[in-house]
A = this chain, B = another copy of it.
């Protein structure tokens, strides 16, 4: 298992001459996440976030400041998607990171030139970082699986396959959108448990799902599985992901082939790929399995992966209702929990996905599944918080929510933290609920 190395780009004493990058920014010089942006009417191209600025990778590629692999990476990132850059793998990505770290560091001799590559983020539009050929959503958040399973099977919440197979399904790539897209409440079929027949109309149980998104780098050819020991080198980086879900549609449609219209109306990702390189200091040991847990089959097991396969990322869900917005209140934090609450590592998800020969390609997106805490301190869905809708939560202003109401704005946030390192963030993963289309 090759893991991204910790090097001078992670030095906690590094600061940037971009002042907004120092202090509590999501994007200090230790982060340097990759995305796609446009300014005014110019064409979208790759960029790197630094404080409240964006460095233009297309311009950087023409600046004469880069050479070798770093230059190749910038050229690959000069178009409207990062797929060509993701296809190059870790080497060029790391070379670009190291060079940009030098150029953006306090004291850089090239500051005057680099200033010409920067745009204020507030004047830019952010786009999906890649053209997503395939989107797969997993179910690796074990406390989510337990919390939800308990609502249906109190004595036996996990299905027999859960601790053997990383459960996943194909999502819809075409409806993945970048943070900020409205989530229109979907219409659909649903049948109340006591109703004779289904009806068609707006979902009454619209929910969020807090997940991490995993962006695939080089990938594999059809028929050539990625061994667990090599899986890490195909993970380009992470984003936040909100797998919006219509629980009433899901309950009625999902047997026997799984979720479909309950999920494919929208999936939101945060705009920046926080790279595997940036995340290296925040890798941590995968939580130990229980004494009674089965040891996974060999194709899913790698000691190095167990040692470094989890991510020390604090994940939060915030909500702001229409009334809160009107009254000028800040979003309310529903909870915060660690991303270590995953039963399977990202490498295990990649190895499993490809073990039958299925191909993964640059720009493909994997969702981890909803990440929740065992208790209510950091759960990733209202389905869990409201006990399947039976126990609505009360917000500080007295409003209650079993599921999402029109006008609610949901914000996912993430922050990677580790002793001795500068914390890095992900940027918002945000969406506001708009009313269903009239029938």
Report the minimal beta-carbon distance from A120 to chain B, rounded to whole angstroms.
29
- With a cutoff of 8 Å between Cβ atoms, the chain B residues found around residue A175 in the complex are 222, 358-359
Q: Which of B184, B199, B253, B361 contacts A165 (CB 8 A)?
A: B253
Contact B184–A357 (Cβ < 8 Å): yes
- Report the nearest B residue to A137, measured CB to CB: B257
For residue A81, CB closer than 8 A to chain B, the reply is no
Knowing A170-B170, A222-B174, A437-B223 touch, does A357 contact B200 (C-beta < 8 A)? no
Give every chain B residue within 8 A of A198 (Cβ-Cβ). Answer: 161, 164-165, 297
Q: Given A255-B159, A255-B161, A257-B139, are A134 and B356 neighbors across the interface (CB < 8 Å)? A: no
Q: A170-B170, A200-B297, A200-B298 are in contact. Are A258 and B261 (CB under 8 A)?
A: no
A294: B residues at CB distance < 8 A? 197
| Residues A356 and B265 in contact, CB atoms below 8 Å apart | yes
Contacts of A298 in B (CB 8 A): 200
Instruction: Select from chain B the residue with minimum beta-carbon distance to A198.
Output: B164
Tell which of A22-30, A186-194, A285-293 binds the partner.
Answer: A186-194
Q: A184-B223, A188-B356 are in contact. Are A260 and B168 (CB under 8 A)?
A: yes
A168–B260 alpha-carbon span in the complex (Å): 7
Q: Mark A238-280, 1 if CB is under 8 A from B, else 0.
A: 0000000010010011111111110011100000000000000
Does B188 lie within 8 Å of A257, measured CB to CB? no
A249 smallest CB distance to B (angstroms)? 7
Check: A47 CB closer than 8 A to any chain B CB: no
Closest to A181 in B: B222
Distance (whole angstroms) from the CB of A368 to the closest CB of chain B: 13
**Cβ–Cβ contact B174 & A171, under 8 A:** no
Whether A189 touches B167, Cβ cut-off 8 Å, given contacts A172-B358, A173-B133, A249-B356, is no
Bound state CA distance, A189 and B159, in angstroms? 15
Task: Tell whether A356 pairs with B186 under 8 Å between CB atoms, given A165-B253, A259-B258, A266-B222.
Answer: yes
A225 beta carbon closer than 8 Å to chain B:
yes
Main DSSP-derived SS at the A contact region: loop
Taking the closest CB of chain B, its distance from the CB of A259, in whole angstroms, is 7
Residues of B within 8 Å of A159, CB to CB, are: 255-256
Write the nearest CB–CB distance from A406 to chain B, whole angstroms. Answer: 15
Contact of A297 among B189, B259, B355 (CB under 8 A): B189
Q: Which residues of B contact A184 (CB under 8 A)?
A: 223, 357
Nearest B residue to A364 via CB reads B174
Residues of A342-379 whose CB lies within 8 A of B = 352-353, 355-361, 364
- A299 CB-CB contact with B under 8 Å: yes
Are B264 and A297 closer than 8 Å at their CB atoms? no
Q: Check if A257 sits within 8 Å of B258, measured CB to CB.
A: yes
The answer to the question of A169 belonging to the interface, with a C-beta cut-off of 8 Å to chain B, is: yes
Cβ–Cβ contact B169 & A134, under 8 A: no
Are B264 and A358 in contact (CB-based, < 8 A)? yes
Instruction: Choose from B139, B186, B249, B355 the contact partner of A261 (Cβ within 8 Å).
Output: B355
Q: A366 → chain B, closest Cβ, in Å?
A: 12
A134 to B131, CA, bound (A): 12
A-B contact pairs, 23 of them (CB 8 A): A164-B191, A164-B252, A165-B252, A168-B257, A169-B169, A169-B170, A170-B172, A174-B359, A174-B364, A177-B222, A184-B223, A186-B357, A187-B357, A198-B297, A199-B297, A200-B298, A223-B437, A261-B352, A261-B353, A261-B356, A264-B358, A265-B357, A357-B437
Interface of A toward B, CB cutoff 8 Å = 133-134, 136, 139, 159, 161, 164-165, 167-175, 177, 184, 186-189, 191, 197-200, 222-223, 225, 246, 249, 252-261, 264-266, 294, 297-299, 352-353, 355-361, 364, 437
Taking A173-B173, A223-B437, A261-B356 as known contacts, 8 extra A-B pairs with beta carbons closer than 8 A to each other, sorted by chain A number, are A161-B255, A167-B253, A169-B169, A169-B259, A184-B223, A222-B266, A264-B358, A265-B358
